[in-house]
Amino acid sequence: GQQLNQSPQSMFIQEGEDVSMNCTSSSIFNTWLWYKQDPGEGPVLLIALYKAGELTSNGRLTAQFGITRKDSFLNISASIPSDVGIYFCAGQIISNFGNEKLTFGTGTRLTIIP
Amino acid sequence: DTGVSQNPRHKITKRGQNVTFRCDPISEHNRLYWYRQTLGQGPEFLTYFQNEAQLEKSRLLSDRFSAERPKGSFSTLEIQRTEQGDSAMYLCASSPSGISGGGDTQYFGPGTRLTVL
């Protein structure tokens, strides 16, 4: 199945550093979402973006919906240990059936170095 | 806890056996989705229900897979004659009934991890 291109694949940072990751697609989406997944658990929604060009914040997280509707960016400021995990972007588009299935990126694994 | 629940959390089976997973969505969520996630990848869409009607199936869902949602509440995903390639995390998500224009948030369950020996 289709997977969105997400980069970087992994990041090793020190606590307190800022983090940036992005996601690109060959297709247009009308919603972009960012999820975080901890080992052995399901993805948890962090931020949802509904309009091209939209910039949305949730605490230390900031995400942007690209103008072309084919990309999105996530920034995490002042990272803390609980930020460790895998971050997934997801694009959402309404199909002919009204299905709002998600197309996920390949993930960015964030590790904090002591 | 009013989130999406999935059972069992883990399942180990031998190749050729049948397995069934259950998903209980958030109460009153009309839409229910199944995704599959293999190691190192993001989740991939399998199938989708609007109430009890199964409206779309991915080509990833072979004939050995069947999903049901009787009465539009919980859903089951059955895999017959399991193969080693079926080993994955099976995730269920639910969302409210969509308003035209969509964008309803999907809430995921913890997943069922299947290992086929």
pLDDT digits (tens, 9 = 90+) for B61-81: 889 999 999 988 999 999 999
pLDDT at A19: 96
C-alpha distance from residue B54 to each of A39, B22, B45, B67 (Å):
30, 16, 13, 8
A-B contacts at Cβ under 8 angstroms: 86
Q: Name the least confident of A56-70, B28-42, B92-106.
A: B92-106
Closest CA to A36 of A54, A61, A67, A53: A61
pLDDT at A81: 95
Interface test with A, best of B32, B35, B58, B95 (most A CBs within 10 A): B35
Q: Do A95 and B98 touch (CB under 8 A)?
A: no
Q: What is the pLDDT of residues A23-37, one digit of tens each?
A: 999 999 989 999 999
Higher pLDDT residue, B60 or B25?
B25
For a pLDDT cut of 90, what percent of chain B falls above it? 77
Rounded-to-integer distance, Cα A112 and Cα A79, Å: 8
Q: What is the pLDDT of residues A50-67, one digit of tens each?
A: 899 999 999 999 999 999
Residue B46 has pLDDT above 50, yes or no: yes
Interface test with B, best of A102, A103, A106 (most B CBs within 10 A): A102
**Mean pLDDT on B110-117:** 97
Closest CA to B6 of B61, B26, B104, B16: B26
pLDDT at A114: 81
Q: How many CB atoms sit inside 10 A of residue B77's CB?
A: 24
Q: Which residues of B touch A47 (CB under 8 A)?
A: none
Q: Do B103 and A30 touch (CB under 8 A)?
A: yes
Rounded-to-integer distance, Cα B66 and Cα B77, Å: 6
- Which chain B residue is nearest to residue A32, measuring alpha carbons? B103
